[in-house]
Amino acid sequence: MKEIKLYKSPWRAIKLILLCSIFVGLGLWGIMTGHMPTWVAWLNTGFFGLGYPVGLFHLFDRRPQIVINETGIFDRTTNKDFINWEIIKDAYLIDIHKQKFICLVVDEKYKPSQNKGKLYQQTAKFSEAIGAQELNISLGQVKIDPEKLTEFILLMRTATKQS
């Protein structure tokens, strides 16, 4: 099997930059005309101005976000290593505030919180309380059909390796 590499969508980064430009423009207009309190205008400009470096980073970052091969699945935002197909018991799709995530159900002994401190374990319990898992693949920056990717992951976890 060849590797499948999914990259960040440049259009989402451009959309972020354009939306931030609207609010930065409003802040600059407020500073120059005095139609809004100065501190509000500066706060608006400063906060939404932070969207420019974030948007530019996402626009020019050409590393693969998600890599799928016969070993497993790798998500740059979730884990440092591949998640092997053998440890994935199930996968399901959730939507949290219009952000799609694929949740990977793994055995207790393979959960990342097993080797972490109490604070990490508490946050892991919180993510499970909202319906997610410890290992979640964020699809926010990747342009792909979430249902088809979830279906593909479920098929890959049961597939047998070719010799």
Sequence ranges of the domains in the chain: 4-60, 72-158
User: For the residues 49-74, what does the mean pLDDT come to?
Assistant: 92
pLDDT tops 80 at residue 80? no
pLDDT tens sequence across 6-54: 999 899 999 999 999 999 999 999 999 999 999 999 999 999 999 999 9
Q: Using CB atoms within 10 Å of the CB of residue 153, give its burial: 0 to 12 exposed, 13 to 18 middle, 19+ buried.
A: buried
Short-list 53, 47, 3, CA closest to 27: 47
How far apart are alpha carbons 26 and 39 in whole angstroms?
13
Provide the angle, in degrees to the nearest 10, between the axes of the packed helices 10-33 and 38-49.
Answer: 160
- Closest Cα partner for 146 from 156, 157, 138, 155? 138
Helix ranges (H only) for 34-117 are 38-49, 51-60
